[in-house]
Structures are given as C-alpha cells and as structure tokens.
Amino acid sequence: MIRTNTAPLLIAFLLLFFVSERTMAQARISSPYSRYGVGDLWQNHYSVTLAGMGNVGLAIRSNNFLNIKNPASYTGFDSTSFLFDISALGMYTTLKTTEISQDADYGSLGYVLFGTPVTKWWRATFGLIPFSNVGYYVTEEKNVNNVGKVGIIYEGSGGLNQLHFGNGFKITDNLSIGINTSYVWGVITKRRRVTFPDSLSMLSTRIDNIDHISDFLVDIGVQYFVPLKNGMELGTGLVVNPGMNLNSTRRYLAQNYFGSNENIEFPRDTVAYSAGTKGKLEFPVGFGGGVSLRKANNFIVSMDVNWRNWKEYKSYGRSDSLQNSFSMHLGGEYIPKYNSITSYWHRVRYRLGIRYANTYIEINNHPIKEFGISFGLGLPFRRSKSMLNFAFEFGNRGTVENNLVQENFIKFTFGLSIYERWFVKNKYR
C-alpha cells in the first residue's frame, strides 16, 4: 500500500529525474515524420492520467490532477489545495519499410506542473512542458547517368519547449472558462547533404537551416456540467486554438566540400550564408470538443474530437507537407470501491482508451494516420488524494505502402500527482 508521506517519494522522483536527464541528455526521438512542421507534437503526453484513457480530457475536470488540455478544468480542484504533477516518458519504436526494419528507443523527462487557488472562483497553473521533438536521419540514393551514385541525406534535431501559465475561472458551479498562455522557445536544426560517392572530383554540398524560435501561444476553453439522476453528471467541453505566429531567427549556411563521408569533410567554399534572417512560423486555428458521463468516485467515460487547419501552416512564408489534422479519442476510468477498507485494489483507478488520428503530415498526397490503444493505473496514497500514475500505449503511425515508413510503438509514461492542503487554518479546542 502507498502511504501518506509524499516527501520521500517526491525527493526520490526528483533524483530520478536528475539522473535521467544526465544519462539521456544525448537521447532523442528517431522518427522520419518529425521532419515535417515543427516535429512530433507533445499533445498526447500532457497528462499521465489521460494518456491511459486514450488522451481524452476536453470534458473532464478533477480535484486530484491537472488537466491542461482544457484550462476551464482548473476549477475542479478546491480552494484550499495545492496540486503538483510530474512525469517521465519512455518509448520503443520499430521503423519498417517494405525492405528493412530498424529499432529505436527514446526516453525523456515529461512535464512539471503546479496548481494553486487564487480566489474561491479562480485557479492558476504554471510549469514546464515539452512542445515538440525533432529527430530523424533519412538517406536516399539515386543513379544518375555520367555521374554515378548520388546520395541525399536529411538530418534533423532539436525541438520546442513551453513555459506554461494557465488560469481557470468559475462562473457558476456548473460553468467555467479558462485560458492557457505559453511562452514557446527552442532550436530546430535541419540539414541536407548531397554527396557523390563514385566521384573523386565532384564537390558534395551541405545546407543547414538552424531556427531559433520564441513567442507566445494561447488556447481558450470552456466546460459546462449538468447534474443527472443517481449522482451522475454530464459534462461538455470546448477548446479553441487561435491562429498565432511564432517569431524565428534563422541561420542559413550552404557549403561545398570534398568527401562523401559525412564525418570527414574538407570545406571548399561557402555558397551562401546568413546569420540572422527574421521570419515567422504561422500556426493555424484549431478546435476541439468533448463530452463525458461521470459518477463521482466510481466511473467516467469520455469522448473527444479535435481538428486543426494545418494546411495554412507556413514557415518563412512557405507551406510544408501538411494537411488538416483530425483525431478522435474515447476512454474511461473505473474505481471498484473508492472508500474500501478491506481491499487496496478496490481503490485503484483502472483506465482504458483508444485514439485514431489523421496527423498533420501528408507525403505525396498520402495522409499519415496514427492509431493507439492505451491502459493505465492510478495507485492512491493512503488517506490522501495523491496518486502514482502509470500509462501504456500500443500503436502505429504511417504505412509501408507507397514507399513510406510505418512506426510501431510502445509508450510508457509514469507520473506523480501530489495533492496537499496548504490553506487550511489549524483549529484548537
């Protein structure tokens, strides 16, 4: 049984984070699909609790974890409590084409979030959350008459993070609104090489685009709950992502060099160079809606639908290989007996979910789709609302057809949600 004192466990968790950060400092994702847009978006890892439920959440509010998918949900925790959420992620992926298969693994620190009441009707959250990851290495080889083999290498690394600040406001007991404001920053490096392995006289070319990105993004949410019979509650939620721009400064370098080995280069001349080209990443508008049915301390079932107009995304005025994204999420949680004193496992939260998405990537008119099945556990602390959460997801993205890549993945996330009462005055008799 997990006991009440959370301080030792929190210290151990933070030490694990420190060790993980040192040992995984060089780790990165390995996905050819992170080449597009701003990389692999982190949106399916915003909560370990919700990750075990198919990543639903737009119509869910809770008093023991922070749901940043909809900022209106922050009014779910009470005016005398303080919430702290922390997480980590591990992933094992098999990359497949019709000819080859390759395995890759990845580990990362997740989010660190804090939630606190400001007034009886106002809750605030803040923290650090990854926004996107970039990590790929893709090679192509062609035979050209009178030249021989021509190798093309695409390589990328980096990603974006966000400093999160959210606010939720209770309008009535059933209606709340909220706004998330995030300062997004990071560096994304994309490199392309053209080499001539069969030629001793032809120069290879390397082109680097290094973008330093920073600016603010906002999303707005609303939730409304209707009490039903038998202690049940019907919830609805809506989130809007306004179209906004991220400022970027690009360093561009194009060089010719001798050598067909990427680790051995003898620079010949610089074709083009610019140290600080200003531009914008134009993020499009998006919408999400959800519905939930809940019985307090017993079960919840929820469904979300999301859409975003990624066809309008532009980087420095140029479009990318993106399409409008669409996703559906269905999941739930079940607690056999919330207040059981005879069985700890009756108080455990059991979670299950499924999701399907047309991602924002489209290659040669072929949309890249993603599917995942997840399950999770919430292990409660003794005499506390604090909880240790685990989530597992099995799924795939892409296809081996049309010369594309299929990714089969297993994701494991774990996190700690700490609930403390910090604003209660002691009473003496």
What is the set of domains in the chain, with CATH numbers?
A: 7-421 (2.40.160.60)
Nearest to 34 by CA among 127, 104, 111: 104
Query: Which pLDDT does position 263 carry in this prediction?
Result: 64
Query: Which pLDDT does position 154 carry in this prediction?
Result: 92
Q: What is the DSSP letter of 92?
A: E
Name, in order, each residue with C-beta under 8 angstroms of 429's C-beta and a sequence gap of 6 or more. none
pTM: 0.88
Nearest to 129 by CA among 61, 181, 188: 181
Check the CA dihedral 278-284-285-287 and report its sign.
negative
Task: Tell me how long the chain is.
Answer: 429
Q: Are the C-beta atoms of residues 59 and 223 closer than 8 Å to each other?
A: yes
For 130, the token pair is 């990854």
Query: Which pLDDT does position 14 carry in this prediction?
Result: 53
> What is the DSSP secondary-structure string of 381-423?
BTTSS-EEEEEEEEEEEE-SGGG--EEEEEEEEEEEEEEEE-S
Q: Are the C-beta atoms of residues 280 and 249 closer than 8 Å to each other?
A: no
Check the CA dihedral 315-205-101-97 and report its sign.
positive
- Burial tier of 314 (Cβ tally within 10 Å: 0-12, 13-18, 19+): middle
Which residues of the chain are modeled with pLDDT < 70?
Answer: 1-29, 259-264, 266, 422-429
